[in-house]
Amino acid sequence: MTRPVGVFDSGIGGLSVLQALRAELPHQSFVYVADSGHAPYGEREPGHVIERSQALTRHLIQAYDVQALVVACNTATAAAIALLRQQHPELPVVGVEPALKPAAQASRTHRVGVLATRGTLESAKFQALLASQQGQADFVLQACDGLADAIEHQDSERIAALGRRYVQALGSCGQDEGKIDTVVLGCTHYPLVADTLQALLGPEVELLASGPPVARQTRRVLPQVAGSGHPTLRWLTTGPADQLQAAVQRWLQAQAHVGTLKI
Return the active site residues: 73, 187
**Chain length of the chain:** 263
27 secondary structure, DSSP code: T
Of residues 25, 15, 34, 10, the one with CA closest to residue 68:
25
Separation CA 24–CA 66 (nearest Å): 18
Q: CB burial class (10 A; 0-12, 13-18, 19+) of residue 133?
A: middle
Q: How far is CA 86 from the centre of its chain?
A: 22
Separation CA 232–CA 230 (nearest Å): 7
Separation CA 238–CA 243 (nearest Å): 11
Answer yes or no: are the C-beta atoms of 18 and 94 closer than 8 Å.
no
Separation CA 99–CA 97 (nearest Å): 6
